[in-house]
């Protein structure tokens, strides 16, 4: 699957463009044969000189869950500023930040319902790793390439952010109302939503 990701990468696009430029020049001189063996070198030059890290072709493994209060971790603050992250995702992250501060005011109720760990796992493991995986994808791949379910990586990211926001919004309201049993049910739903970081590669 990584070769499909590479096809959408800026490295591949620049390599092809430089190779085509060289081929066009050779055709213009009406002396293509001497240049044929040089075309792969032009491709390699275009690919290797593109300032896109090779790590963008890899998806990182999940990380451990750190202990921290309900607030966006520093990794999210860094990721939400990256140009590859859709603006719609940044808007949802801002909404999640507000919800986390709201949940913090009901910390005692959340702890009593046993859902604080689920929230922490969602925000400090699932979400940072999912966003990290997304930002490692070439922009064209994320927007255009259909995954096995027919959806694009961009659609999947926004869809799961919507699910997460809806779940936390419901939990914030339940915590305010002191609905402990309902909170436990929502906590189980949250665990299902955030069971594994989205990898976007199959």
15 in a structural domain: yes
Inside any domain, residue 62: no
Count the domains in the chain. Answer: 2
Has residue 202 been placed in a domain?
no
Task: Examine the domain organization and report whether 81 and 173 are in the same domain.
Answer: yes
Q: Among the ranges 17-21, 51-55, 76-80, 195-199, which has the highest mean pLDDT value?
A: 195-199
Residues 48, 97 within the same domain: no
Do residue 98 and residue 29 come from a single domain? no
Pair (105, 177) in one structural domain: yes
> For residues 115 and 105, is the Cβ–Cβ distance under 8 A?
no
Q: 65-110: per-residue pLDDT in tens?
A: 443 444 555 556 666 666 678 889 988 888 888 888 888 888 889 9
Is residue 178, in this structure, part of any structural domain at all? yes
* Tens digit of each residue's pLDDT (9 = 90 or more) over 94-153: 888 888 888 888 888 998 889 989 998 898 889 989 998 998 888 888 888 888 888 999
Predicted TM-score (pTM) of this structure: 0.69
Which residue intervals of 9-106 are DSSP H helices? 10-28, 39-48, 74-79, 87-104
| Residues 83 and 10 reside in one and the same domain | no
Give per-residue pLDDT as tens, 30-53.
666 666 666 777 677 766 667 654
pLDDT of residue 188: 94
Tell me what pLDDT residue 185 has: 94
The pLDDT score that the predictor gives to residue 125 is 87
Regarding whether 187 and 97 lie in a shared domain, the answer is yes
> Looking at the structure, do residues 88 and 13 belong to the same domain, yes or no?
no
Tell me if 129 is assigned to some domain: yes
Task: State the average pLDDT over residues 177-200.
Answer: 92
CA atoms of 70 and 128, how far apart (whole Å): 14
Residues 47 and 125 in one domain: no
pLDDT at 13: 73
- 66 lies in a domain? no
pLDDT at 168: 93
The last residue of one of the domains, among 11, 32, 57, is: 57
Tell me, yes or no, whether 93 and 37 share the same domain. Answer: no
* 68 in any annotated domain: no
Rg (CA), the chain: 23
- Residue 187 pLDDT more than 80? yes
State both tokens at 175.
Answer: 């915590």
Could you tell me which residue, 180 or 2, shows the higher pLDDT? 180
> Which residue would you say has higher pLDDT here, 202 or 160?
160
**Residue 127: which domain range?**
74-193
Same domain, 87 and 34: no
On whether both 86 and 151 belong to a single domain, the answer is: yes
Pair (48, 137) in one structural domain = no
Burial category of 112 from C-beta neighbours within 10 Å (exposed 0-12, middle 13-18, buried 19 and up) = middle
Q: Is residue 14 part of a domain?
A: yes
pLDDT number for residue 99: 87
| Res 164 pLDDT > 90 | yes
């Amino acid at each position: 699957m990584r070769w499909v990701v590479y096809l959408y990468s800026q490295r591949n696009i620049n390599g092809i463009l430089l190779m085509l430029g060289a081929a066009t020049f050779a055709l213009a001189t009406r002396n293509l044969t001497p240049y044929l063996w040089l075309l792969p070198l032009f491709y390699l030059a275009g690919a290797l000189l593109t300032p896109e890290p090779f790590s963008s072709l890899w998806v990182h493994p999940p990380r451990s869950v750190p202990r921290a209060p309900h607030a966006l971790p520093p990794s999210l603050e860094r990721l939400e500023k990256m140009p590859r992250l859709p603006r719609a995702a940044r808007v949802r992250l801002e909404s999640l930040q507000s919800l986390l501060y709201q949940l913090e005011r009901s910390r005692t109720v959340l702890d009593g319902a046993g859902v604080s760990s689920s929230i922490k796992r969602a925000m400090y493991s699932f979400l940072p790793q999912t966003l990290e995986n997304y930002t490692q994808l070439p922009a064209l791949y994320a927007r255009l390439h259909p995954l096995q379910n027919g959806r694009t990586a961009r659609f999947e990211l926004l869809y799961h952010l919507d699910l997460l926001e809806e779940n936390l919004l419901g939990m914030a309201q339940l915590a305010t109302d002191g609905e402990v049993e309902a909170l436990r049910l929502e906590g189980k739903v949250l665990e299902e939503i955030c069971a594994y970081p989205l990898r976007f590669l199959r």
